[in-house]
């Protein structure tokens, strides 16, 4: 009986390994397809980006994006500290 359980566990683990291998292959395929699509997309000229660079407005866009990202990072860090403090108080 014990041998049957051991074989069943090994079978389930083998099945999980097979599924994980298939998922890894699928993920790799998706990554390669994404890289190839992005590579082909770079061939086209983007007039808006060229115009914004020539006018100097691209720096304003970058500054706004960086400000938003920094705000989000600071918010998440502060929220994490509060949650950690509350978890310690509840223990």
**Predicted model pTM:** 0.45
In this structure, the answer to whether residues 54 and 28 fall within a common structural domain is no
In this structure, the answer to whether residues 34 and 67 fall within a common structural domain is no
The 10s digit of each residue's pLDDT in 14-71 is 777 777 788 888 888 888 888 877 776 666 666 777 787 788 888 898 999 999 999 9
How many CA within 13 A on the CB side of residue 79? 6
In this structure, the answer to whether residues 49 and 91 fall within a common structural domain is yes
pLDDT of 1: 47
Residues in the chain: 91
pLDDT of 43: 61
In this structure, the answer to whether residues 12 and 49 fall within a common structural domain is no
The Cα-based distances of 15 to 9, 22, 87 in angstroms read 10, 11, 38
In this structure, the answer to whether residues 65 and 83 fall within a common structural domain is yes
In this structure, the answer to whether residues 7 and 18 fall within a common structural domain is yes
Q: How many angstroms separate the CA atoms of 22 and 18, rounded?
A: 6
Highest mean pLDDT among 7-11, 21-25, 83-87: 83-87
In this structure, the answer to whether residues 91 and 62 fall within a common structural domain is yes
pLDDT band at 8 (very low <50, low <70, confident <90, very high): low
| Range(s) of the domain holding residue 60 | 45-91
Q: Provide the domain count of the chain.
A: 2
Q: Cα angle at 33 between 27 and 37, to 5 degrees?
A: 145
The single residue listed with the structure tokens 């599924």 is 19
């Amino acid at each position: 009986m014990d041998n049957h359980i051991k074989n069943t566990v090994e079978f389930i683990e083998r099945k999980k390994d097979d599924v994980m291998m298939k998922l890894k292959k699928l993920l790799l395929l998706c990554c390669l397809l994404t890289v190839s699509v992005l590579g082909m997309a770079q061939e086209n000229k983007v007039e808006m980006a060229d115009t914004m660079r020539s006018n100097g407005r691209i720096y304003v866009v970058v500054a706004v994006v960086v400000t938003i990202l920094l705000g989000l990072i600071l918010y998440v860090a502060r929220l994490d500290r509060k949650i950690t403090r509350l978890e310690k108080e509840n223990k």
